[in-house]
């Protein structure tokens, strides 16, 4: 995986364009935007990873720059996060430590 560009949105979310095409055949060049928002469903307000895969680098770049400019927010795209290997809307993310405080 190669990080091609990193920025921060006006509301403080760290985002980056990633290229996974050398690692996974189902990815095209620079087709993924990763975001690291602060979890709102948590007692401990920490960052987590959410991602959105696009058809191509052009669409990923367009989304990236619209997020950087503040024209759009993460809610305007289908960003997902993982909970126990399952994709969920990034707004539903809850840290595993809070889902299973005694371990799993």
Q: What's the start-to-end Cα distance of the chain, in Å? A: 30
pLDDT in tens, 6-18: 999 999 999 999 9
Instruction: Give CA–CA dist 33/53, Å, rounded.
Output: 7
Spatial distance between the Cα atoms of 82 and 79, rounded to a whole number of angstroms: 10
Pairing between strand 86-89 and 80-83? antiparallel
- Separation of alpha carbons 88 and 2, rounded Å: 24
pLDDT digits (tens, 9 = 90+) for 64-82: 999 999 999 999 999 988 7
Distance (Å, whole) CA 77 – CA 90 = 10
Measured between alpha carbons, how far is 29 from 78 in angstroms, rounded to an integer? 19
| Mean pLDDT in residue range 7-32 | 93
């Amino acid at each position: 995986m190669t990080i091609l560009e990193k920025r921060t949105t006006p509301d403080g979310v760290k985002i980056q364009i990633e290229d996974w095409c050398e690692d996974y055949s189902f990815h095209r060049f620079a087709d993924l935007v990763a975001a690291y928002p602060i979890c709102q469903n948590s007692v401990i307000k920490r960052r987590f990873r959410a991602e959105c895969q696009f058809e191509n680098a052009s669409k990923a770049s367009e989304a990236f720059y619209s997020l950087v400019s503040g024209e759009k927010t993460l809610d305007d795209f289908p960003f997902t996060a993982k909970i126990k290997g399952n994709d969920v809307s990034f707004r539903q993310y809850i840290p595993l430590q809070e889902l299973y405080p005694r371990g799993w």
